[in-house]
């Protein structure tokens, strides 16, 4: 299998990664213990302060890539601050469900590789991955993530959805920057080690 004409590489643990020129940034807002939402998907503990920063970065990359459940949860719960209101040319929903309906203004793809291939074909250089945890892990397991950006919000929830779903992968990172934000939030940017 190849990805947009790129060669397939087998890594030491037997999984595959792809030789692609696409940069993949995983961007999440998390609790200090790594959760992105409560078990039921609620994000009521997150301040709205970071929304404008998120929208600005999405516009910079001209795309957002999310899982189906993330799309549904956010658009259902937030009338004004949801992905429908983010003005980018490419909004991708990744789903394994072949029967999913494509919302107006979105493109439906069925794998991380298909998302990369689609964005490469339209000339996008950086894929802006915004969750959820299962999709983030799918990208990570395939060794497709180059950068991890975490905004840590000072609020602990005891049970929730992790920003990376549990799976069989691991990777090291190098800290690129730390920035203190309003309301005690901290922005951490890491480069994923090859």
Residue 39's CB is within 10 A of a number of other CB atoms, namely 11
Q: Nearest Cα to 109, choosing from 77, 138, 73, 146?
A: 138
In this prediction, residues 160-173 reach a mean pLDDT of 96
Reported in sequence order, the residue ranges of 31-85 that DSSP labels E, i.e. its strands, are: 35-37, 63-67
pTM of the model: 0.88
Q: What is the pLDDT of residue 94?
A: 97
If you write DSSP's letter for every residue of 4-34 in order, what string do you get? TTBPEEE-TTS-EEE----EEEEEEEE-TTS
Provide the residue ranges of all domains of the chain, joining segments of one domain with +: 27-192
Flag the least confident range among 14-18, 80-84, 121-125, 154-158.
14-18
- pLDDT tens, residue by residue, 36-69: 999 998 899 998 888 889 999 999 999 999 999 9
- pLDDT tens, residue by residue, 96-126: 998 888 899 999 999 999 999 999 999 999 9
CATH for the stretch 27-192: 3.40.430.10
Dihedral (CA of 64, 67, 69, 72) sign: positive
Question: Quick one: tokens of 74?
Answer: 């956010």
Residue whose token pair is 């209101």: 85
């Amino acid at each position: 299998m190849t990805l947009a004409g790129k060669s397939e590489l087998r890594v030491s643990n037997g999984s595959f990664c792809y030789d692609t020129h696409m940069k993949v940034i995983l961007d999440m807002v998390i609790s200090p213990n790594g959760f992105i939402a409560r078990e039921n998907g609620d994000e009521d503990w997150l301040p709205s302060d970071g929304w404008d920063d998120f929208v600005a970065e999405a516009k910079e990359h001209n795309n957002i890539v999310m899982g189906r459940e993330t799309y549904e949860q956010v658009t259902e719960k937030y009338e004004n601050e949801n992905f429908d209101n983010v003005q980018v040319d490419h909004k991708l929903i990744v789903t394994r469900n072949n029967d999913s309906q494509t919302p107006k203004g979105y493109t439906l793809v069925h794998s991380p590789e298909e998302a990369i291939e689609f964005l490469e074909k339209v000339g996008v250089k950086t894929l802006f991955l915004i969750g959820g945890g299962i999709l983030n892990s799918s990208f990570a397991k395939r060794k497709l993530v180059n950068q991890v950006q975490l905004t840590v919000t000072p609020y602990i929830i005891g049970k929730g959805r992790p920003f990376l779903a549990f799976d069989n992968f691991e990777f090291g990172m190098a800290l690129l920057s730390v920035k203190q934000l309003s309301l005690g939030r901290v922005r951490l940017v890491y480069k994923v080690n090859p």
